[in-house]
């Protein structure tokens, strides 16, 4: 009976597996506050959840995983909290490089990383370089990211190419605009996972998620496990995607 229960908790390997899963890693601070712990402890536990979920993505055959790590709006938080977040970013990059190499995970970073302090920026660059030859799951870390900024940058670059004569106005379509986004070359997310019980997109991949299925869990991100990730995939397999039809 236990073996059958475990089997039922896994996504069907013959069923549809999302090519791209996006995750808003929400609930770190609420998890810590409810336990009267320092806020940073919530983020530390959140990094453990990220490690486990990345491995689960590889095990379940998800090619691309994009996680919302730090938004442009997060700069408005207390300066000490932001500083600690960047310290954790450096720790994550240093501690996880070897395991990501072993697990064939390739890391990419989405966002305005040039605006980050030197230490986390260099740590992320080192992580990207150190995994650049890997051919397995792509892990996109959205850091200092804003979907509105991404769209603004895309439009400015596209207008520049039109003015330079590199592309004609009548050649612009959805595929063309998509090629100017940070996610160029990647499939749009099939599934958005949002722990923490909130029902909003929070300025995350707004253009790319036009037809994305959304799965929300009340579980805070620090408590999110591979079983929760499997549950999201199972729900995805139950749905009939319509793409606006």
Strands 138-145, 191-194: pairing kind: unpaired
**Is 104 known to be catalytic?**
no
The residue from 4, 12, 26, 163 that is catalytic is 26
Active-site choice (4, 12, 74, 104): 74
Which residues have a Cβ under 8 Å from the Cβ of 140 and sit 6 or more positions away?
64, 65, 66, 67, 107, 108, 109, 110, 183, 186
Q: Enumerate the β-bridge partners of residue 191.
A: 21, 213
User: Chain-centre distance of CA 98, in angstroms?
Assistant: 20
Please say if 74 is a catalytic residue: yes
**What is the radius of gyration, based on Cα positions, of the chain?**
19
Q: What's the burial of 145, exposed, middle or buried (CB within 10 Å: 0-12/13-18/19+)? A: buried
Gap between the Cα atoms of 201 and 165, Å rounded = 36
Distances (CA, A) of 242 to 147, 194, 199, 211, 233: 24, 21, 21, 8, 17
**Structure tokens, 34:** 């409810």
Q: Which amino acids are annotated catalytic? A: 26, 74
């Amino acid at each position: 009976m236990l073996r059958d229960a475990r089997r039922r908790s896994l996504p069907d390997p013959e069923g549809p597996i999302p090519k791209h899963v996006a995750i808003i890693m929400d609930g770190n601070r609420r998890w810590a506050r409810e336990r009267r712990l320092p806020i940073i402890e919530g983020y530390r536990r959140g990094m453990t959840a990220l490690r486990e979920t990345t491995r689960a993505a590889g095990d379940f055959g998800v090619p691309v995983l994009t996680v919302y790590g730090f938004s442009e709006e997060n700069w408005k938080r207390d300066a000490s909290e932001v500083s600690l977040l960047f310290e954790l970013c450096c720790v994550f990059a240093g501690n996880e490089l070897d395991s990501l190499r072993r697990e064939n995970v390739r890391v990419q970073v989405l966002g305005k990383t040039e605006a980050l302090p030197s230490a986390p920026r260099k740590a992320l660059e080192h992580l990207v370089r150190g995994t650049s030859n890997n051919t397995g799951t792509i892990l996109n870390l959205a850091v200092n990211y804003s979907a509105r900024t991404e769209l603004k940058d895309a439009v400015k670059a596209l207008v520049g190419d039109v003015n330079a004569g590199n592309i004609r106005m009548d050649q612009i379509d959805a595929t063309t605009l998509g090629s100017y986004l940070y996610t160029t070359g990647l499939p749009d997310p099939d599934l958005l996972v949002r722990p923490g019980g909130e029902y909003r997109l929070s300025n995350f991949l707004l253009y790319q998620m036009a037809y994305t299925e959304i799965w929300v869990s009340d579980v805070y991100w620090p408590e999110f496990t591979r079983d929760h990730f499997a549950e999201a995939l199972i729900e995805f397999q139950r749905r009939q995607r319509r793409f606006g039809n």
